[in-house]
């Protein structure tokens, strides 16, 4: 697999977390009852990824898992987190997903 260059990494850092989550999850659903407090652009999503359940707050490229109080930013961080994998595997999956 070719190395990740700065252009590709920059693109993944800017990917909207909703797009990344929906590409990575087996099932993802927005919570229409959620009312954001700090940032009106924040949405709450319930997702299943490889048998694991997540409740995530998503704002632009950033994510926050409300259950573990863990967060990050960018598609690579999100992929590493929800797939419980390393950087190399996460970037390979993102390439295959077309993100």
Phi-psi region of 59 (alpha: psi -120 to 50; beta: other; left: phi over 0): beta
Give per-residue pLDDT as tens, 15-53: 999 999 999 999 999 999 999 999 999 999 999 999 999
Distance CA 25, CA 21 (A): 6
Distance CA 46, CA 61 (A): 17
Amino acid 2: pLDDT: 79
36-10-97 Cα angle (round to 5): 80
Phi-psi region of 2 (alpha: psi -120 to 50; beta: other; left: phi over 0): beta
Amino acid 11: pLDDT: 94
């Amino acid at each position: 697999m070719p190395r990740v260059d700065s252009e590709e990494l920059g693109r993944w850092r800017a990917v909207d977390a909703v797009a990344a989550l929906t590409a990575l999850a087996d099932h993802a659903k927005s919570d229409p009852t959620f009312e954001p407090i700090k940032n009106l652009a924040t949405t709450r999503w319930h997702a299943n990824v490889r048998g694991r359940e997540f409740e995530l707050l998503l704002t632009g490229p950033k994510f926050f898992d409300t259950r573990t109080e863990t967060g990050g930013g960018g598609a690579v961080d999100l992929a590493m987190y929800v797939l419980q994998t390393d950087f190399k595997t996460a970037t390979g999956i993102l390439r295959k997903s077309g993100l």
